[in-house]
Amino acid sequence: MNGDRSFTCGRAWFLGYAGAVKIAFGSDFDGITTTFGDLSRAGDYHNLVNTLLKRYKEAEVQNFMRENWLLVFRNVLQ
């Protein structure tokens, strides 16, 4: 992913600030005009996953991509 150094540095700061269970990635690209590197549509998510796997454990990446959203949905639906 182009620019993955700045992306992962920013992510590292946010992880330290909010914690790994507070990050979840969405795929809503409607209405945006600026994208980040090789992530310009939902079909490019493999680029994001591959970049994250270079720096984070697989279980953390699974949390970012899916599990943390499930926690939000469970909390909202209760």
pLDDT in tens, 3-51: 555 555 556 666 666 667 778 877 777 777 887 777 788 888 888 888 8
pLDDT at 21 (0 to 100) = 74
pLDDT at 38 (0 to 100) = 79
Question: Which H helix or E strand runs over 42?
Answer: none
- Which domain does 70 fall in, by range? 4-77
CA distances from 61 to 20, 23, 69, 72 (A): 9, 10, 12, 16
Average pLDDT of the segment spanning 59-65: 88
pLDDT at 58 (0 to 100) = 93
**Considering its fold, how many domains does the chain have in total?**
1
- pTM of the entire structure? 0.67
Q: Residues with Cβ < 8 Å from 4, sequence gap 6 or more? A: 37, 51, 54
Token pair in block for residue 60: 């953390």
